[in-house]
Structure 1
Amino acid sequence: MLYTLYEAGYYAASPLRWAALAARDFWSSPLNPAADSEVAKRIYATSDLFANLTRRYGKPEWMLDTVRINGRDVRVRAQEVWSTPWCKLTHFSRDMSDLRRAGKTELEPALLIAAPLSGHYATLLRGTVEAFLQDHEVFITEWTNARDVPIVEGRFDFHDYIDHIREMLRQLGPRPHVVAVCQPGPPVLAAAALMAEDGEECRPASMTFMGSPIDARLSPTVTNRLAEDRPFAWFETNMIYNVPPPHLGAGRRVYPGFVQLASFMSMNLDKHQEAHRRYLAQLMAGDGDSAEKHLEFYDEYLSVLDLTEEFYLQTIDVVFQRYLLPKGELEHRGRKVRPERITDIGLLTVEGENDDISGIGQTQAAHRLCLGLPVELKEDYIQPHVGHYGVFNGKRFREEIYPRVRDFVRRMEKSQQRKPVAVAAKATEQDGVVQMRPRSAGA
């Protein structure tokens, strides 16, 4: 019922939105002699804000036409190379002639970025992709909005996610690398464990987990406590709704993206309200650059997708309530998942000091599960002064986190060639894990 009311509210607001757009265009037109008056600026700014708050935010574009490598622009083209109704595997193909001019003459590692299926589109990782494109052949998972998948296509659950990751790794060829950002951590680790136990040729050469809830019992955050405090039946009753017409997935039971968005925004409601007040003031003051940055952020942030009922509820149950993976009780298709069977896949964990979604220790837990890995294939890093988003995007990611991930991938590439693994200077060994922290962290 809530989904239907949400859609009804959107369509009911359409006449007001059209009126706001007309008012915005009229009062900002260079042909309007009163456009520079204080009244005109106020009407323009208010109309623009109302139109943006009530419009539909679709899937953003990647807008990655070029990437800067060694001081040169290299053309990039996003290509779909594999797909199911639930996901497409996108390859960011770099122009070979541009790469040669940029001094890139050797084949670079294939790397899969497992994007979260937790409410936002994969384009939220635009900055992540842009960084990895400097040194890798980058592929990314683009999950489909569940409301756009006809009900005849069947279900998609936690175990289907694991199967998709395994199949996409196979598409990349022998010994690719995988980076799991946030939510995909547990299913990606499960997929790697199964592939390692089977001795698959396309098992990862390395796996990097960034802000992932491998063991959500550790350093619980507000999000974790919500999942712990509510009984499973509460999520089933209060978070799941039917997709209404005219969407292709009409009738499908989903966890709506707008519900997830409301939950996220309520955690920092004051910040969002203040951001929109600043945006209004920027428009009235004619500060177009600052207003554009605001729009860029919220165009991405307010673009959300729906999750299938079964995937969402299983994730709550498996990851946040019963903790099956860290307890050694996770089964996939009737088969126990055994991370301790991983013996030759490099493991890097990255966490943010101020992460309020996946607390410190939740991602590091992967090291305790992968008991079969030698210490030289393990590495852990905690980035000071960043929250959850800063673990995979922003200035500190580009300048401090990404170089460490890049160097780790390179070392794991060399290890596959039976060369010694070079452990970075200033590293110390603790609990069987190579601990690396910048000097500013006091290590």
Structure 2
Amino acid sequence: MLYQIHELGHAVMNPLANWASAVSQLSGSAPSPLSYVPFARDFAAGADLMVRIAKDYKKPAFNIDATTVDGRVVEIREEALAVKPFCRLLHFRKQQALAQPRLLIVAPLSGHHATLLRDTVRVLLHEHDVYITDWTDARMVPVSEGDFHLDDYVAYVQDFIRLLGPDVHVLAICQPTVPVLGAVSLMASAGDIQPRTMTLMGGPIDGRISPTEVNKLAMSKPYEWFEASVIDVVPFNYPGAGRRVYPGFLQHAGFIAMHPEKHMQSYVDFYENRAHGHPVDAHLKFYDEYNAVLDMAAEFYLETIKVVFQDFNLPNGTWQVNGQPVRPQDIKDVALLTVEGAQDDICGIGQTKVAHTLCSAIPSVKRMHHEEPGSGHYGIFSGRRWRENICPVVSTFIRANNG
């Protein structure tokens, strides 16, 4: 029923958004006579604010068509190397053949699109041959394609590692740190190929350490509450009609609820800057991405809640994937880098670093941990601290363990 209410709200708001867009054009466009009447900028700013609040945000594009390598501009072409029902493996292929480390970025499947890592990709492209998991909005996947479980996520990661070969390096940010560690552990136990390095950034390997509000919510509610309260069915107007999902708009509401005053002030600042003719590009860039959300398959979301946030199967040594035990202690030849933000309010300090304890067989010379002072969750993979402090650590670690 939540989905139907949400869709009805959008149906009601869309005409309002269209009207506000027209008012903005009439009040703020130089050719329009109305743009010269008193308070025209205020009308235009108010109309723009209404558009931002009422519009339906679509999946953004990466829009990365070039990078620089050793001072030279190199063109980029985005290609789908592999396509699965719930994910595409994208390759940012350089138009010149370069000897660079092959890097698989496993993007979070936690409400936002992989484009949230645009800055991550853009900076890493200077020195790496970059691939990324582009997860599909579950409402766009027909029911005939079957379910998508946490075990399937692990299998996808394994398939992509095999496809890219033993020279690949793997980087996981937030949610995928657990399934990536699971995938590499299982491959080590089976004598399968291994990536050269595994970089885990800001992820809930053990949510019992320095628990955040996110962890506390997951631990305070029984599994049945999540199944009854946040799972809904995709309505008929989408290809995935009838699929049970955790809707992206609920995840988005949860993110907003963590810091409502911060987001409210951001929109107030947007109005004032727009009314006074000041730049608003930073606001548009951030919220065009932040407000674009995707649905997750219900079975994947619920299993993640139970396995990762309630039973802590990975650190407890009780996690099994398709009947096989997940044993991080079997990993011996993969170099391990963990990264945490000192001010992370999504994954607390120590939750990711504990991977070093679990991967006890990795030699000390092939381990490294980096804690970034002053960095929140998003700061570890986007923004100035990522570009100037964290990415150089990641790139240096990869080069040092590139064989």
TM-score (norm 2): 0.98
Instruction: In structure 1, give the amino acid aligned to 2:72.
Output: R
Question: Is 1:235 aligned with 2:248?
Answer: no
- How many Å separate the matches in 2 of 1:123 and 1:276? 22
Write out aligned runs for 1:350-369 (5 A).
Answer: 350-369=339-358
Measure how far apart 1:39 and its partner are: 2.2
Measure how far apart 1:33 and its partner are: 2.7
RMSD: 1.1
- How many Å separate the matches in 2 of 1:231 and 1:38? 57
For 2:73, the equivalent position in structure 1 comes to 73
Measure how far apart 1:77 and its partner are: 1.0
Question: Is 1:114 aligned with 2:103?
Answer: no
- How many Å separate the matches in 2 of 1:219 and 1:29? 51
Instruction: In structure 1, give the amino acid aligned to 2:386.
Output: F
C-alpha spacing 1:348/1:214, structure 2 compared with 1 (3 Å) = same
For 1:155, the equivalent position in structure 2 comes to 147
Instruction: In structure 2, give the amino acid aligned to 1:206.
Output: T
For 1:190, the equivalent position in structure 2 comes to 182
Pick the aligned partner of 2:274 from 275, 283, 292.
283
Between 1:301-310 and 1:166-175, the stretch displaced more is: 166-175
- How many Å separate the matches in 1 of 2:283 and 2:257? 19
- How many Å separate the matches in 1 of 2:152 and 2:274? 46
Instruction: In structure 2, give the amino acid aligned to 1:133.
Output: L
Instruction: In structure 1, give the amino acid aligned to 2:244.
Output: R
Write out aligned runs for 1:30-429 (5 A).
Answer: 30-96=30-96, 107-201=99-193, 203-287=194-278, 289=279, 291-414=280-403
Measure how far apart 1:284 and its partner are: 0.8
- How many Å separate the matches in 2 of 1:38 and 1:128? 44
Instruction: In structure 2, give the amino acid aligned to 1:55.
Output: K
Instruction: Find the residue that maps to 1:213 and give its secondary structure.
Output: coil
1:237-276 Cα distance to aligned partner (Å, 9 max, x none): 1110111120111111100000000000011100111110
- How many Å separate the matches in 2 of 1:316 and 1:198? 27
- How many Å separate the matches in 1 of 2:184 and 2:155? 11
For 1:2, the equivalent position in structure 2 comes to 2
Instruction: In structure 2, give the amino acid aligned to 1:257.
Output: G
Measure how far apart 1:71 and its partner are: 2.5
For 1:102, the equivalent position in structure 2 comes to none
Instruction: In structure 2, give the amino acid aligned to 1:252.
Output: R
For 2:17, the equivalent position in structure 1 comes to 17
Instruction: Find the residue that maps to 1:413 and give its secondary structure.
Output: coil
Instruction: Find the residue that maps to 2:181 and give its secondary structure.
Output: helix
Instruction: In structure 2, give the amino acid aligned to 1:151.
Output: V
- How many Å separate the matches in 2 of 1:244 and 1:166? 32
- How many Å separate the matches in 2 of 1:346 and 1:293? 37
- How many Å separate the matches in 1 of 2:227 and 2:380? 31
Instruction: Find the residue that maps to 2:130 and give its secondary structure.
Output: strand
Measure how far apart 1:383 and its partner are: 0.6
Measure how far apart 1:42 and its partner are: 1.5
For 1:423, the equivalent position in structure 2 comes to none
Instruction: In structure 2, give the amino acid aligned to 1:108.
Output: Q
- How many Å separate the matches in 2 of 1:110 and 1:172? 8
Q: How many residues align?
A: 403
- How many Å separate the matches in 2 of 1:31 and 1:356? 47
- How many Å separate the matches in 2 of 1:366 and 1:190? 11
Unpaired segments of 5 or more residues in structure 1? 100-104, 415-443
Instruction: Find the residue that maps to 2:170 and give its secondary structure.
Output: strand
Between 1:231-240 and 1:13-22, the stretch displaced more is: 13-22
- Runs of 4+ deviating beyond 6 Å: none
For 1:426, the equivalent position in structure 2 comes to none
Unpaired segments of 5 or more residues in structure 2? none
Instruction: In structure 2, give the amino acid aligned to 1:337.
Output: V
- How many Å separate the matches in 2 of 1:381 and 1:220? 19
- How many Å separate the matches in 2 of 1:124 and 1:29? 31
1:343-380 Cα distance to aligned partner (Å, 9 max, x none): 10000000000000000100011011111111111111
Instruction: In structure 1, give the amino acid aligned to 2:300.
Output: F
> Are the equivalent residues in 1 in contact too, given 2:106–2:132 (CA < 8 A)?
yes
Measure how far apart 1:14 and its partner are: 2.1
Measure how far apart 1:328 and its partner are: 0.4
1:113-147 Cα distance to aligned partner (Å, 9 max, x none): 00000000000001101111111110000000000
- How many Å separate the matches in 2 of 1:309 and 1:13? 27
Quote the sequence identity (%): 45
Instruction: Find the residue that maps to 2:6 and give its secondary structure.
Output: helix
Measure how far apart 1:68 and its partner are: 2.4
Measure how far apart 1:173 and its partner are: 1.6
- How many Å separate the matches in 2 of 1:38 and 1:283? 15
Instruction: In structure 2, give the amino acid aligned to 1:42.
Output: D
